Amino acid sequence: MAHYSAFNIRIILVLTLGSLTYGYAFSVITNTLGQPGFLSYFNLDNDASYANQIEGAINGIFSAGGTFGALTVGYMCDIHGRKVTMNTAAIISLVGGALQAGSVDIAMLLVARFITGWGIGMMVVLIPIFQAEISPPSSRGLLVGQHGAWIVAGYAIASWVGVGTFYSTNMSFQWRFPLALQCASPLALLCCSPWVPESPRWLLMQGRHAESWDIVSRLHVDAHDQPDSQKKLSYAQKEFHQMVKQVEMDTNAWAAGGGARQMFTKPSYRKRMWMGFFTQYSAQATGAMVVNNYIVNLYHGLGINGGLVLVLGALYVTVATGANFLASVLMDHVGRVRLLIIGLTGCMLSLSLECAMEARFEGTSDRVGNALGVFFVFTFIFFYAGGIDATSYVYCSEIFPTHIRSQGMAFSMIGTFLSTVVFLEAGPTALAKIKWNYYIMFIGLTAVDIAVMWYYFPENNRFIQTKGLSLEEINIRFSDEVAVHFSDADAERKGGDDVESSGTEPAEEAKADAEHLEHSILPSSQ
């Protein structure tokens, strides 16, 4: 089993600055909407109906920007590369954050929210793609799972900053500083980007084999090297050989099949597009973003007010951060789809019990009932973060072949942004008029989503398993051709099923071809 190298870890950690950018920018508005200085400055503390409309617009326009960003990044990734796209997203996020912090009226704030949404919409699509393309199969869940973990770490940082500024006597600093702080992570990402190489798989699609091999050879540590290792192929050589052959096969098939229209006309690609979109939509259909963004309203309904609301909100996302890290460790062992279903089920049950507490104890001073209400809020986020959050990003980043991965991930994330536009825009008004009954809709949607995922995602030993397979070999799970299998992946596959690809080359031919690639590439890369 191959292991990641220090070079690999360094890249992953730098990329998580993009995850942090998304998480902080997405969450910072939660506490901002509860800051007295913000409400007073924009005259939202006198007219509740007007305040609800503006709060909905602030969140809705952000998600609309995210949708635009996801559409932008899908093709930009393929044309200009992962690294240029990452830097562009960082600059847009930086501009949006600065404009938010300097907003002088609602119109400027809304424009700034759209720009920020645009930047983070690009970021949330790009980062897991980038991470997946540099991660070894055996640890891809752990490494790409850092995207979800650091997104929620951004939530936690934003919440604790909001707690601190709530007690400031400077009403302007109270809300402007947290908004300005969202510029820190994209700025840090820009500063650290020289340490990040381009994706080796994108380089192969551009025909830049020497640059790709130079990166691949540094990414992995081979645990099976022996004294006679010169007679054997290293893990990096085998992976590079597989990548080259798969890119050649996919490029020819892509051109012969008519190009981009195949994403929706070819059954196996169409299935992946649907699965990615549905995975991200179902994550939002749990009501997670509504609970997170309007958690202040929920606590008010339980009779909790003042600074304690902000402290509970910060603890909420702190628990989520730990649960995401747990998920990143588990998913390489449990599998992606099983973890998603466990998370969806836990969220549905927790939200049902939370609604029961709201229905029975809302507006009362019953400490036990209100304490249980808070407890079920925390069990909800534990299941969401521990089963759905990081897992959904990993799953959507790995089920698409390299030549449509960016478009597929972008289409998947549109499922997130379109859902949140609807759910968050309606949130303030719905919570004001029907209160906890709004969450019943999410309970029903999640029940349907569990059934759909259970019955329509199955294949090969109950679920489409992607753990342990290289990105190229995942094709076999969707009945697409795989150019080359190598020994570690074969061992993993034999433990799960006996499916073989018609494109698999004999071991001796693969070895000879890989050695030829090595000798032709290495001299030009030195």
Question: Which residues partner with 3 through β-bridges?
Answer: 221
What the block records as the tokens of 449 is: 């989503």
What is the pLDDT confidence band of residue 297, given thresholds at 50, 70 and 90? Answer: low
Kindly give, in sequence order, each residue whose CB lies less than 8 Å from that of residue 97, ignoring residues fewer than 6 positions away.
25, 112, 116, 179, 180, 182, 183, 186
pLDDT digit string (tens) for 156-189? 899 889 888 988 889 999 999 999 999 999 999 9
441 part of a folded domain = yes
Among 70-84, 294-308, 477-491, top mean pLDDT goes to 70-84
Q: Considering the chain, what is the average pLDDT of its residues? A: 83
Range with lowest mean pLDDT among 19-23, 36-40, 341-345, 508-512: 508-512
Tell me the range of 127-131, 354-358, 454-458, 500-504 where mean pLDDT is highest.
127-131
Give a yes or no: residue 223 inside a domain.
no
Q: Which domain holds residue 21?
A: 3-200+266-456
pLDDT grade for 293, boundaries at 50, 70 and 90: low
Encoding tokens for residue 8? 């690999």
**Same-domain check for residues 167 and 305:** yes
Q: Mean pLDDT, to the nearest integer, of 339-345?
A: 95
Instruction: List the single range of 91-105, 170-184, 203-217, 494-508 with lowest mean pLDDT.
Output: 494-508
Please check the confidence at residue 14 and state whether its pLDDT lies above 90: yes
Do residues 136 and 128 make contact, with C-beta atoms less than 8 angstroms apart? Answer: no
The answer to whether residue 227 is domain-embedded is no
d(CA 184, CA 201): 30
Residues 445 and 367 in one domain: yes
Q: Does pLDDT of 285 surpass 70?
A: yes
- Indicate if 105 and 20 belong to the same structural domain: yes
Is the domain of 521 the same as that of 378?
Answer: no
Residue 339: inside a domain:
yes
pLDDT at 461 over 60: no
* Amino acid 491: pLDDT: 45
Give the model's pLDDT for residue 487.
Answer: 45
Q: What pLDDT score does 465 carry?
A: 65
Mean pLDDT to the nearest integer, 222-251 = 69
| pLDDT score for 191 | 96
Q: What is the dihedral of CA 102, 189, 140, 132, to 10 degrees?
A: 90
With pLDDT > 70 as the criterion, what percentage of the chain qualifies? 85
Please say if the pLDDT value at position 221 is more than 70: no
Full DSSP string of 145-188: HHHHHHHHHHHHHHHHHHHHHHT-S-HHHHHHHHHHHTTHHHHH
Residue 464 resides in a domain: no
Domains in the chain, number: 2
Least confident range from 43-52, 184-193, 409-418, 484-493: namely 484-493
* Section 77-101 average pLDDT: 95
Same structural domain, 14 and 75: yes
Whether residues 250 and 196 share a domain: the answer is no
pLDDT attached to residue 464? 55
**Final residue of a domain: which of 400, 425, 456?**
456
pLDDT score recorded for residue 469? 79
pLDDT above 90: residue 303: no
Q: What is the pLDDT of residues 27-42, one digit of tens each?
A: 898 878 878 899 999 9
Does 225 map to a domain? no
Kindly report the CATH number assigned to the domain that includes residue 174.
1.20.1250.20
* In contact, 228 and 456? CB cutoff 8 Å: no
Is-contact 340 452, C-beta < 8 A? no
Q: Given this model, what pLDDT does residue 223 score?
A: 45
Query: What pLDDT was estimated at residue 518?
Result: 54
Q: Is the predicted pLDDT of residue 300 greater than 80, yes or no? A: no
